[in-house]
Amino acid sequence: MSEPSRNPDDGFVKEIPPKAPDLSAWYTAVCLKAELVSYAPVRGCVVLRPYGFGLWENLQKHLDERFKATGHENAYFPLLIPESLLTKEAEHVEGFAPEVAWVTEGGQEKLEERLAIRPTSEVIIGVMYAKWIQSYRDLPVLINQWANVLRWEKATRPFLRTMEFLWQEGHTAHASAKEAREETEQMLAVYKDFAENVAAVPVYAGVKSASERFPGAVETYSIEALMPDGKALQSATSHDLGQNFSKAYDITFVDADQQIKHVYTTSWGMSWRMLGAMIMAHGDDRGLRIPPKMAPIEAVFVPIVRGENRGAADKAHELAKSLRAQGYRVRVDDRDQTPGWKYAEWEMRGVPLRIEIGPRDLESGSAMVVRRDKQKGEDGAKVSVPFDELGARLRELLDQVHISLFEQAKAFLESHTFAVSDRDEFFEKCRSRAGMIDIPWCGRAECEASVKAQTGATTRNTRPLQKAGAACVACGEPAKVNAYFAQSY
RNA sequence: CGGGGCGUAGCUCAGCUUGGUAGAGCGCUUCGUUUGGGACGAAGAGGCCGCAGGUUCAAGUCCUGUCGCCCCGACCA
C-alpha cells in the first residue's frame, strides 16, 4: 500500500499508486482505501465492509431476479458435509481434496466422523435430491443457494482468491440429458448478460477444455474477462454434470415409461470474484469506477457552504430526499471537509455521478453533475442540470455512464484479442500476456500442457471451429475447435 | 507448497550496523478561521517496538524459537 503524500504539482494527495505498471499494487490499495474490504485477523479471509457489501447486494439483486425469471427458487443447505458422503464421486473428491478444511472436534469430544466445511455443495444437495425426487413429475428441480464456501488456498487476494468466499450455486436436476444441457447453456447466457449489462464487463462465453473442467463434470462452460495486465479472469462457470453425481448419490426417478432412471444434474456459480473483475476492468488512476447498476451510491451530493450559510447543504438534502423517493441511491456529503477533498474521495470510491451545489448554483436553480467515467475536462464530463430536472436527467446520465464504461472495456478486449495463425507469434503473444489469443486448436491435453509449460498460458474457453480444415496453431495437428489462450488469474 | 520481503502509534514508515529517556508525517480529539479540486493556526490524546525464551547492569536494537502478514510463482471461483 502506498503512503498518502502531498504532491504540490497537482494539489492532490495520492492515496493509491497508478494502475499501471503494477496492477496488483493498485488493486489491493484501491480495495482497501475505498473501504470495500479489510483484512481480517484470520489468514486468507477478508471482512466485506458496508461499501463492499453494497456491491455484493447489487450483484445479488440483479442475478437473483434473472434466476427467478428463469424459473429458479432459492434454498439453503448445511455448511458441513460428512466425510463418508463427500467421498462418493471419485473425480470430485480428488479435485477438491487438497483444499478441504475439516471439523474434527465438537466441544471437548473428538468426532467419530470428520465433517468437511463445504468447498462447494454438489454433494450435500445431491443427497437431498435423492430423497426428494421420486417421479418424472418431480422434475425438473431448479434450486439456487446464496452461500459461503471455504477452500484452503495457499495465497489470497481480496475477491480474486480468498479462503472463504461468497457466491451463489445453482443446482438442478432433469429427466433428460438434452434438458440438462439446455439448462447449463441457459445459465451461461444469464451470466454473460449479467456481466455485460450490469457489471459492464465484456466477456467471452464458451466451453472449457478437459483439463480445465470442473471435477466430476461432463462439460464445463465459462465466461472469461480480460484484465488490463493481459491476464484472463474466469468470472463464472456452468457445469453439465450428466449422470455422474446422480449415479454416485443414487438420485433416481421413475419415468413415464415406468423405468427407473438416474437424473441429469447441472451446477453453476458466480462468486464475489466477479467484483474483482469489475474493479480491475473499470478502475483508473483516481480509483474505482463502479458501473451504475452495481454502485451502492449512484450519485453523491457535495454542497459547497459559505460560512454560516447552510443553504447549499439544505438544498442538497431536500433534493436527495426527492430523488430517494424516485428510487435513486444517493448520499449527501455534508461532512466538514473541503469540496476538493470530497471530490477526490468519492472519485476514489467510484461513485458514478457527483452533484455539486454551491452559492452560484443556488442562484441559477441548477446543479453541476459530474460523470466519473470521463476524465477531467473531457467533453460532457460536467453538465448543468436544473433542480427540477434532476430526477429525469440522472437516469439518462447513469445509463450513459454504464454504456461508456462498457464500451471502454469492450474496446480494450477487442484490441487485445488476436486471431493468430503463426506458431511463433502465438507463443510470443502467450508469453507476453498480450491478451486473448484466438487460434484453431486440436483440443488435445498434451498440446495444452506443452503450451502452458512454455508460456504460462492455458485455454480459457473454446467455441466451434471457425474455419473448416484448419490446423492447430500450437502443434500442427488437425484443429477441432477455436480456443482463446491466455495467462489467467 | 517453492522464491522474496515485512511485523515499532489508527495508517505509512524511521530508529537496529555500533544496546543506554520511544520518533516523524499523515490521521484522530478540542477551539477558532475556512470551504467551487485533497485548507490553516493553536492546544491535545495516542506505544507490553508481533509473541516466547535467552545474553546483559541495561534489549525496539544482539541470539534462538515461534506466530502472522504482503508480493511473485504453482493451484483454484
For residue A133, what is its C-alpha cell?
A: 425426487
Cα-Cα-Cα-Cα dihedral sign, residues A240, A246, A247, A253: negative
- The ipTM value here is 0.86
Residue A3 has a pLDDT of: 29
Among A13-22, A123-132, A267-276, A365-374, the range scoring the smallest mean pLDDT is: A13-22
**Spatial distance from the CA of A78 to the C1' of B47 (Å):** 45
- Model confidence at A7, pLDDT cuts 50, 70, 90, reads very low
**Percent of chain A whose predicted confidence (pLDDT) is above 90:** 74
Residue with cell 500442457: A449
- Model confidence at A307, pLDDT cuts 50, 70, 90, reads confident
Q: What is the 3 state secondary structure string of A11-42?
A: CEEECCCCCCCCHHHHHHHHHHHCCCEEECCC
pLDDT, one tens digit per residue, over A316-335 is: 999 999 999 999 999 999 99
- Model confidence at A9, pLDDT cuts 50, 70, 90, reads very low
Q: Residues near A154 by Cβ (< 8 Å), separated by ≥ 6?
A: none
Q: Alpha-carbon dihedral of residues A23, A223, A211, A261, nearest 10 degrees?
A: 150
Q: Quick one: which of A1, A35, A36 has its CA closest to A15?
A: A1
A303: pLDDT strictly greater than 50: yes
Residue A351 has a pLDDT of: 97
Neighbours of A228 (CB within 10 A): 18
Whole-number mean pLDDT of chain A? 91
A360: pLDDT strictly greater than 90: yes
Contact yes or no for A140/A179 (Cβ under 8 A):
yes
A196: pLDDT strictly greater than 80: yes
A150: pLDDT strictly greater than 50: yes
Residue numbers in A 129-168, CB below 7 Å of strand B: 151, 153-157, 159-163, 165, 167
Residue A111 CB lies within 7 Å of the nucleic strand B: no
A2: pLDDT strictly greater than 50: no
Per-residue b or e along A450-471, where b marks 16 or more CB atoms closer than 10 Å to that residue's CB: ebbeebebbbbbbeebeeeebb
Residue A102 has a pLDDT of: 87
**Spatial distance from the CA of A153 to the C1' of B2 (Å):** 15
- Model confidence at A15, pLDDT cuts 50, 70, 90, reads low
Residue numbers in A 300-359, CB below 7 Å of strand B: 304-307, 336-345, 347-348, 356-359
**Percent of chain A whose predicted confidence (pLDDT) is above 70:** 97
Q: To 10 degrees, what angle do helices A311-325 and A390-415 make?
A: 80
A373: pLDDT strictly greater than 80: yes
Q: Which nucleotides of B are covered by protein (CB under 7 A)?
A: 1-2, 11-13, 25-26, 34-39, 68-77
**Spatial distance from the CA of A47 to the C1' of B37 (Å):** 32
Residue A361 CB lies within 7 Å of the nucleic strand B: yes
**Spatial distance from the CA of A3 to the C1' of B24 (Å):** 14
A353-357 and A299-303: which strand pairing?
A: parallel
Nearest residue to B1 via alpha carbon and C1': A154
Residue A132 has a pLDDT of: 97
Is pLDDT larger for residue A174 or for residue A336?
Answer: A174
pLDDT, one tens digit per residue, over A152-169 is: 877 678 888 888 889 999
A108: pLDDT strictly greater than 90: no
CA–CA distance, A272 with A489 (Å, rounded to integer):
14
Average pLDDT over residues A464-486: 96
For residue A217, what is its C-alpha cell?
A: 463434470
CA–CA distance, A419 with A429 (Å, rounded to integer):
11
Q: What is the 3 state secondary structure string of chain A?
A: CCCCEEECCCCEEECCCCCCCCHHHHHHHHHHHCCCEEECCCCCCEEECHHHHHHHHHHHHHHHHHHHHCCCEECCCCCEEEHHHHCCCHHHHHHHHHHCEEEEEECCEEEEEEEEECCCCHHHHHHHHHHHCCEHHHCCEEEEEEEEEECCCCCCECCCECCEEEEEEEEEEECCHHHHHHHHHHHHHHHHHHHHHCCCCCCEEEECCHHHCCCCCCEEEEEEEECCCCCEEEEEEEEEEECHHHHHCCCEEECCCCCEEECEEEEEEEECHHHHHHHHHHCECCECCCCHHHCCCCEEEEECCECCECHHHHHHHHHHHHHHHCCCCEEECCCCCCHHHHHHHHHHCCCCEEEEECHHHHHHCEEEEEECCCCCCCCCCEEEEEHHHHHHHHHHHHHHHHHHHHHHHHHHHHHCEEECCCHHHHHHHHHCCCCEEEEEECCCHHHHHHHHHHHCCEEEEEEECCCCCCECCCCCCECCEEEEEECEC
- In chain A, the N- to C-terminal Cα span, in Å, equals 21
CA–CA distance, A26 with A34 (Å, rounded to integer):
12
Is pLDDT larger for residue A147 or for residue A2?
Answer: A147
